[in-house]
Structure formats: C-alpha cells, structure tokens
Amino acid sequence: MKDFYGRTAVLTGAASGFGLECARIAAREGMNVVMVDVQADALASAAEEILAIAARVDGGGGRVLARRVDVAKAAAMEALAAEVQQACGAPSVVFNNAGVGSGGLVWENSVKDWEWVLGVNVWGVIHGVRLFTPMMLAAAAADPHFRGHIVNTASMAGLVNPPNMGVYNVSKHAVVSLSETLYQDLALVSDQVHAHVLCPFFVPTGINASHRNRPGELSDPDAQPTRAQLINRAMSEKAVGSGKVSAADVAAKVFDAIRGNQFYIYSHPQALGSVQTRLEDVVQVRNPTDPFAARPEVGQQLRAALRGG
C-alpha cells in the first residue's frame, strides 16, 4: 500500500507507545483513525491530539473514533468490529498492538497473572485477527484495488527466551506463531491482504507501567512480588528507560513495512544475533545457550541475587 489517504486504520493500545505514534502517522496521512485503549483518560487525551492533527491535513483529514475496549473480551471486540464496519467499512490497516508486561520465574506467576497477560497479549491479537481479517477479505473480493494490512505487535521476546520473564515470552511467541501462520494462510487465498509482525526490543513505551490497567478480577491485592519479580521489574525499567530508539522511530518503521510489504519489523536489527544463536541451538540439537554469554558479569549478578548470595 502506497496511498493511505481516506482509508481506515484500527489501532489497539492507541493511547500511548507504538499505538499512539502510529495513530499520529495515520492522521497525518489523512486516514480515518479508530483508537482503541482500556485507559479512558489517556485515550481521551490522545484522541484530542489526533483530532487536531487530522484537522490540519490538506484536503481534509479523516474521522477519529476513540473507544474504550478491553481487547481480551470477545464481546467487546465484536462490538468494536461491527461499529467499524458500519462507520468506516473494512479497515485497510489493523494494528493489534495492545500489550502488557509481567515477569518473574516462570513457576511463580499466578493463574491470574497468566490470564491477564495472555488475555491482552494473545487473545487481543486473536480477536483482532478473527474479526477484521474476514472484513478485509470481503472488501478485497469486492474491489481489486483494495489493500489490507494486519500488523501484530510481538517482541524480540517472541523470538528468544530470556530468563525471568516466562509469561511474557510465552505470550509473544504465540503472537509470532499466529502472525507467521496468518501470513501463510492469507497467501493461500488473497494477494491483496497481508500480515506483518512487529518485534521491538527495549523501547520506551510505558509498558512497564501496564499494571495500572490490570482488571480488578485479575488482580490479587494481597500478593507480594517475589524477589525474582522485583529484579525483573528493576532490570526491565532500566533497559526500557535507557532505550535509544523511540516509539516514534518504530512507528515509522511500521508504516515503511506496510508500504514495502515487509513481514518482519525490528526496532533493533542488531539484536538478531541472539535469534540466530537460538535457532542454531534448535537445529544442532544443542542445549540452550547461556543468554549472558556475552556479558557473564550480568548473569553472575542475577544468579547471586536469586540464590540469595
């Protein structure tokens, strides 16, 4: 797709991070922008900004719809899809981007932890795919000029398995698998609708504060974080906070990938060495390589902290 003007973009997690930055680009391109998020106040503020951007577009900008939706909820996503179809028709870009973070040793996560993370990170993407893909395919069948793109946000944690963040790794590996399968399935039935997967590394997006939006029914106010979870939180905040690639940089890469029909989208291509090592472990039937092999002092510090040494 080269021309976005007048087309529709649906973006989840649109009140911050990658979602908001992609909404800014979509608005500048003259698209109708459907902004979806679970945080009402942040969404209202973001939507006001996007409306202002749309108003400055030469020739008139697109519509802006802001909807508070929990992407993990099937009925809420079904209602959203029906409203988008009625208001704007089939979207040309769907960015299944909403995501949350959680860490700790993999056996320490509670059932509620798993339900929350998988609900947003996996079921949110599943709902976006199952609801908007048929809409796009129908539009493609009716119009040979229609082009559709589905972008799913995974993570580099969907391509490798760093320790002490298992629940997040599992969710993002699922998104990579879903996206790769979607790409292959679409290729069987259409040349007009395409899939992409975004695998960012450490980028300041606000995901470390995602617990603020955790539903009450999936929270345990009496639960105390374990030592491993506290360590994970501190390491993640440091790594994300010091990231040199911005969310705006990544959003530009997303739109470049859509224009070029590029499936894999990376914020930090230099991190792919770890992916290659993992794949070599698999192919060579080799035990998983120490993730701290290049920085053994970090691994030593983490092991000592977890073992109480």
- pLDDT of 92 reads 98
Q: What pLDDT was estimated at residue 231?
A: 87
Q: Is residue 44 part of a domain?
A: yes
* 292 and 245 inside one domain: no
In a domain, 1, yes or no: no
Examine the domain organization and report whether 125 and 150 are in the same domain: yes
pLDDT (0 to 100) of residue 205: 65
Q: Are residues 145 and 235 in the same domain?
A: yes
3 domain-assigned: no
Residues 69, 119 within the same domain? yes
In a domain, 274, yes or no: no
Q: Are 260 and 283 in a shared domain?
A: no
**Does 260 share its domain with 302?**
no
Q: Encoding tokens for residue 165?
A: 């963040």
Same domain, 59 and 187: yes
Residues 90 and 187 in one domain: yes
Dihedral angle, C-alpha 100, 106, 110, 116, nearest 10 °: 20
Q: Is 219 domain-assigned?
A: yes
Main-chain phi, psi angles of 223, to 5 degrees: -75, 135
One domain, residues 105 and 201: yes
Total of domains in the chain? 2
pLDDT of residue 207: 60
Looking at the structure, tell me whether residues 105 and 196 fall in a common domain: yes
| Contacts with 248 (C-beta within 8 Å, 6 or more apart), sequence order | 21, 24
Locate 293 and state its tokens: 């092999």
pLDDT of residue 22: 98
Lay out the sheet containing 93-96: strands in order across: 64-68, 32-37, 8-12, 93-96, 148-153, 193-199, 264-266
Residue positions annotated with a catalytic role: 168
- Residue 86, token pair as written in the block: 């009625």
Predicted confidence at residue 208, as pLDDT, reads 59
Q: Which of 126, 129, 128 is nearest to 12 (CA)?
A: 128
Answer whether 179's CB lies under 8 Å from 158's CB. Answer: no
Residue pLDDT tens, the chain, 309 long? 779 999 999 999 999 999 999 999 999 999 999 999 999 999 999 999 999 999 999 988 899 999 999 999 999 999 999 999 999 999 999 999 999 988 899 999 999 999 999 999 999 999 999 999 999 999 999 999 999 999 999 999 999 999 999 999 999 999 999 999 999 999 999 999 999 999 999 886 666 556 777 887 888 877 888 889 888 888 877 777 667 899 999 999 999 999 999 999 999 999 999 999 999 999 999 999 999 998 899 899 999 999 875
Domain that holds residue 295: 279-309
Q: Are 305 and 232 in contact (CB under 8 A)?
A: no
Contact 71, 102 (CB under 8 A): no
162 and 286 together in one domain: no
